[in-house]
Amino acid sequence: MIRVFIANRGEIALRAVRVCRTLGLETVAGYTPPDAALPHVWAADHSVCIGPPAAAQSYLNGPGLITAALASGCDAVYPGYGFLSENAEFAEQCRTAGLTFIGPSPEIITLMGDKAQARRTAAALGMPIVPGSEHGFAAVEPAQVAAEQIGFPILLKASAGGGGRGMRIAEDIGSFATCFMQASAEAKAAFGNAEIYLERFFRNVRHVEVQIFADQHGNVVHLWERDCSVQRRHQKLIEEAPSPILPAARRLEITQAAEALARGLGYEGAGTVEFIYDPESDRAYFIEMNTRIQVEHPVTEMLTGTDLVAEQFRVAAGAPLSISQPGEPHGVAIEFRINAEDAYDGFRPAPGLISAWKPPRGEGIRVDSHVYPGWRVSPYYDSLLGKLIIRKPSRTEAIAAAQEAIARFEVRGVPTTLPFHADLLTTEAFRTAAIHTRWIEQDMAR
């Protein structure tokens, strides 16, 4: 691996360029006209326009990206997160073209990308699974039959995607058909696959995920868990590690299960094994595996002192893991996603010109971002401006430090989610970790 094509944008693209520079790898940045002024385009050794602003014709155009990578002399492609990072067809196209796809194999992406297949695989490896359908559905009638067998309420999920797209909750059979059609249409638009998978829905659960890493030599480690329960419509807003409410026995159970799954799959690279945890029954259930680096990976990096992005490149080049299994985590890390959205107007996206951007600095404070004063937030892509990560010895100290850091974080020109985070940190429910995945809609909204 000598020259890497960065098939992404924003902060993860900038992070990849910086990591490649430290590893002695050349980089080529793909960009669209609205992204021509992004820092990773300047920072890369070379850059190439990959198409018009619409993502479908640029960042989601696999053949076009491969053509650009080959034309610019690259021998590897870094997909980051989002876009084509979990697209098995793109990974296969890279392999066919002789390009190293910096991620797991197309076969593993296919297996874990299909919710029903992932469920069967996890069950075969002895993992606890949520009651659900044995396969996905393209038509509403057979899906209704399966839903009644599973029992309501039902969570409908896109079989071929994630990130909250193609997801609905049907409370009863009367609402099922409408929810199915909505979820199916959204899944088709987002992932090109309208198939819907069904799961029993648990109302007040925590969303807990385990970071794993594996290499081509059979080495697997887990880097403990992250709690991602602060969500709105299945989109994560705050993540922290370790989970503030997970009992030691459940922590051991899910980390061992995640590691066993990675070993059983013959997994390579970074991956996240996701669970729901029901505090009432003290039970955890496998829900899916993300075959990529996560947006929230800095939480784990801050907690464990690792560089997960650099490890992605090392493993893809065939090197054994440089990460050893970390001991019990000490301290607390919390990440706040900073989006160009008005949280008090339904989280309405707010593209526009950034007139001021002054992140806080200090011990235990990290900001990952691509933003600078004078940069224009584009309406074509997601609204993520950056991530504020705080690490302190205790959760109480981390919350206090986060409040101070948010107060010092100056952003002007567009509304952001920083005021929402400031308000959230004052709530008793968050401070005592008494929240769940629907808490934003059900409780804080009131």
Average pLDDT, the chain: 95
The CATH T-level fold of domain 131-200 is Dna Ligase; domain 1 (3.30.1490)
pLDDT class of 119 with cuts at 50, 70, 90 = confident
Kindly report, residue by residue over 369-413, the tens digit of the pLDDT: 999 999 999 999 999 999 999 999 999 999 999 999 999 999 999
The phi-psi region of residue 80 (left if phi > 0; otherwise alpha if psi is between -120 and 50; otherwise beta) is left
**What span, in angstroms and rounded, lies between the C-alpha atoms of 373 and 25?**
29
The helix (run of H) or strand (run of E) holding residue 252 is helix 248-265
CATH of 206-444, one of 3.40.50.720, 3.30.1330.10, 3.30.470.20, 3.30.420.40: 3.30.470.20
Joined together, the tokens standing for residue 34 give 């609205």
Residues 152 and 173: beta-carbon distance below 8 Å: yes
pLDDT class of 116 with cuts at 50, 70, 90 = confident
Kindly report, residue by residue over 231-285, the tens digit of the pLDDT: 998 899 999 999 999 999 999 999 999 999 999 999 999 999 999 999 988 999 9
Q: In the prediction, which pLDDT does 60 show?
A: 96
Per the DSSP assignment, residues forming a β-bridge with 341 are 349
Evaluate if residue 163 carries a pLDDT over 90.
no
Average pLDDT over residues 20-43: 98
**What span, in angstroms and rounded, lies between the C-alpha atoms of 411 and 354?**
7
Kindly report, residue by residue over 325-362, the tens digit of the pLDDT: 999 889 999 999 999 999 999 999 999 999 999 999 99
Q: What are the DSSP calls for 306-347, one per residue?
A: --HHHHHHHHHTTPPPS-----S--SEEEEEEEESEEGGGTT
Which residue is catalytic, options 292, 337, 366, 391?
292
pLDDT class of 189 with cuts at 50, 70, 90 = confident
User: What pTM does this model have?
Assistant: 0.89
DSSP letter at 381? S
**What span, in angstroms and rounded, lies between the C-alpha atoms of 302 and 411?**
24
The C-alpha angle 246, 248, 251, rounded to 5 degrees, equals 65
Joined together, the tokens standing for residue 395 give 């959760």
Average pLDDT over residues 101-115: 95
Joined together, the tokens standing for residue 441 give 């809609």
Q: In the prediction, which pLDDT does 445 show?
A: 65
Residue type, 376: R
Which sequence spans correspond to the domains of the chain? 3-102, 131-200, 206-444
Residue type, 326: P
Evaluate if residue 30 carries a pLDDT over 90.
yes
* 73 CB-near residues (< 8 Å, 6+ apart): 3, 28
Can 348 be counted among the known catalytic residues? Answer: no
**What span, in angstroms and rounded, lies between the C-alpha atoms of 119 and 253?**
17
Per the DSSP assignment, residues forming a β-bridge with 224 are none
Whether domain 3-102 has CATH 3.40.50.20: the reply is: yes
Q: What are the DSSP calls for 217-236, one per residue?
A: TS-EEEEEEEEEEEEETTEE
Neighbours of 377 (CB within 10 A): 22
Joined together, the tokens standing for residue 29 give 């940045």
**Domains 3-102 and 131-200 are alike in CATH topology:** no
**What span, in angstroms and rounded, lies between the C-alpha atoms of 247 and 238?**
20
> Length of the chain in residues, anyone?
446
Evaluate if residue 446 carries a pLDDT over 70.
no
The C-alpha angle 140, 142, 147, rounded to 5 degrees, equals 85
Per DSSP, the three-state class of 169 is strand
Kindly report, residue by residue over 68-94, the tens digit of the pLDDT: 999 999 999 999 999 999 999 999 999
